[in-house]
Amino acid sequence: MKTEITNLVKLQKLDDVIRALESRLAEIPKEVETLEREIATEKGNLKAALDGLAEVQKDQRAAEGTLSVAEEKLGKYQVQLMSVKSNDEYKAMQRQIEATKGEISDLETKILQGLDAVDELEAKQSTREQELEEGQKKVAGMEKELDVEKAKLEAELATRNDGRKVVLGIIPEATLSEYRNIAKTRGGVAMAAAVEERCQVCMVRVRPQVFHELRMYKKFHQCGNCGRILYFLEEEQAAAT
């Protein structure tokens, strides 16, 4: 009787550890996914910065092209101005020259502003590159740590599962099936220690007679409240675990 209870307690402890190991193992891929998402976001930020820069550079080249056309036009008008015959023609040519000068001045302003924008965007690009590089380094380090942790957990899980098989082999089938039925509907916890006449899972009192029988390992008892299999535990042992 005592051995059976002791083995069930062992089994419960192994099941608890195995459950915790499995739940941690299940978290690891999610953590890796979160890290990968961070990197994808940083890559997206860098791409946005590069696209913005390319756009402004394209506008700059277009403005420079338009400027050189306008400058050529101005040169031609100035030559033509020398060969005009009438006063009206002269005035008309002067107006065209003024208009072209205005156009040139606007383009020069636009190009200067574009240069500032390029500087700003290049600084942004370099910040984004740095962020990405740092992010990748950080993530690589964390992923390595997670890999190490995963290997450790898997090794421990294998050891615990081996231990569990041994314990399963020495518990009678009927007792095991009761343990499983109780565990299934109670979050995997079938066993409850009784300390000082109290179920330590639901904290409801155990009758003195029942507690006495538990202490003597006379009989199996389930907690009248939570239905778990009770086992006797000295107060000091309970405090130590």
* Closer Cβ to Zn ion, 54 or 203, answer by number: 203
Q: Does 18 bind Zn ion (CB under 5 A)?
A: no
* Closer Cβ to Zn ion, 81 or 226, answer by number: 226
CB of 162 to Zn ion, least distance (A): 31
Reading phi first (left if > 0) and then psi (alpha if -120 to 50, else beta), residue 195 is in beta
Single-letter residue type at 65:
G
Q: Which two tokens stand for residue 70?
A: 């306008």
Q: Does 226 bind Zn ion (CB under 5 A)?
A: yes
* Closer Cβ to Zn ion, 121 or 195, answer by number: 195
Q: At what angle do helices 87-170 and 2-82 cross, to 10 degrees?
A: 170
* Closer Cβ to Zn ion, 73 or 205, answer by number: 205
3-11, 103-111, 161-169, 202-210 -> range binding Zn ion (CB under 5 A): 202-210
How many whole angstroms separate alpha carbon 86 and alpha carbon 230? 119
How many whole angstroms separate alpha carbon 74 and alpha carbon 221? 106
Q: Does 202 bind Zn ion (CB under 5 A)?
A: yes
* Closer Cβ to Zn ion, 46 or 199, answer by number: 199
Binds Zn ion (CB under 5 A): choice among 11, 107, 199, 206 = 199
Binds Zn ion (CB under 5 A): choice among 223, 229, 231, 232 = 223
Q: Which of 148, 152, 225, 171 is nearest to 11 (CA)?
A: 171
Query: Residue 229 pairs with which residues in a beta bridge?
Result: 191, 222
Q: Give the DSSP H or E segment for 140.
A: helix 87-170
Q: Does 182 bind Zn ion (CB under 5 A)?
A: no
Is residue 11 within 8 Å of residue 163, measured between CB atoms? no
CB of 211 to Zn ion, least distance (A): 13
CB of 222 to Zn ion, least distance (A): 8
How many whole angstroms separate alpha carbon 26 and alpha carbon 153? 11
Residues that bind Zn ion (CB under 5 A): 192, 199, 201-202, 223, 225-226
